């Protein structure tokens, strides 16, 4: 009986999450998301994008393109950096909204296609944001940092400070990350984020969800890094919620 009930709850949650995403389908910003995904598909991406990830990604950062579009009504963006850009959907979205110069970094080039980089004049660099310098010598009006925080191997505060120092004084940072309250704590590597070491080049990189933050912890690290939260809400995820946040410098 409990198995059947759990299946029912899972299907109900999937339907609710699908319905929430669908409710935005006629908005202008959602049409820009669809156009951006079409650009990715036409650029010969990693097959996994069209097979699966394309249908999932928006559930992780649903509110972020909405907020970016709202930000564009009052603010200009000349340079946008996407950290952990993966396939490049939000980078292309930002380019469509602001007609800005796009910079992307990731620890691998297996996701972003060379055709996308070439066709859209993207400045792409393989770089580890935790241990490398930001490879572009300029300040960014907007930085996108989606589905990366949970992968950080080291105490996140120094990395967030590095990101802050790469922003203009009136710039904006967008973050999404799984909500530990809904997903559950990951204690395989560290019981608390305060136990995570400082960045170094000796420790082998772990490619996993190393630590997932609840909202209280998220607010702690954001504050310690010199940011303040202007918006914070939840994106539905596939089954479990993700924190979505818009941050500005203190």
DSSP helix/strand/coil, 145: strand
Q: Cα angle at 99 between 95 and 104, to 5 degrees? A: 35
pLDDT of residue 14: 60
pLDDT of residue 64: 99
pLDDT of residue 187: 95
Which domains are delineated in the chain?
25-249 (3.40.50.150)
Give mean pLDDT in consecutive 10-residue pieces for the chain, a chain of 250 residues.
58 62 87 97 95 95 98 98 98 98 97 98 98 97 99 98 98 99 96 95 91 98 99 94 98
pLDDT of residue 83: 99
Q: Give the separation between CA 88 and CA 103, rounded to whole angstroms.
A: 10
pLDDT of residue 22: 77
């Amino acid at each position: 009986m409990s198995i059947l009930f759990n299946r029912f709850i899972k299907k109900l949650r999937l339907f609710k999450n699908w319905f929430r995403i669908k409710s935005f389908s006629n908005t202008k910003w959602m049409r820009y998301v669809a156009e951006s995904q079409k650009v990715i598909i036409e650029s010969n991406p990693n097959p996994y994008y069209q097979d699966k990830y394309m249908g999932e990604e928006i559930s992780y950062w649903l509110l972020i393109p909405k907020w970016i579009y709202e930000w564009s009504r009052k603010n200009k963006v000349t340079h946008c950096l996407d950290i952990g850009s993966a396939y490049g959907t939000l980078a292309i979205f930002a380019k469509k909204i602001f007609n800005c110069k796009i910079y992307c970094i990731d620890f691998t080039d297996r996701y972003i296609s060379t055709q996308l980089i070439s066709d859209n004049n993207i400045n792409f660099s393989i770089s580890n944001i935790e241990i490398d310098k930001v490879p572009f010598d300029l300040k960014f009006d907007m930085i996108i940092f989606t589905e990366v925080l949970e992968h950080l191997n080291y105490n996140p505060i120094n990395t967030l400070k590095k990101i802050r120092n790469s922003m203009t004084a009136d710039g904006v940072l967008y973050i999404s990350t799984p909500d530990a309250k809904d997903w559950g704590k990951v204690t395989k590597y560290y019981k608390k984020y305060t136990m995570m070491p400082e960045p170094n080049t000796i420790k082998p990189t772990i490619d996993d969800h190393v630590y997932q933050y609840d909202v209280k912890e998220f607010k702690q690290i954001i504050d310690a890094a010199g940011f303040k939260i202007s918006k914070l809400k939840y994106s539905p995820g596939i089954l479990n919620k993700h924190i979505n946040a818009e941050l500005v410098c203190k």
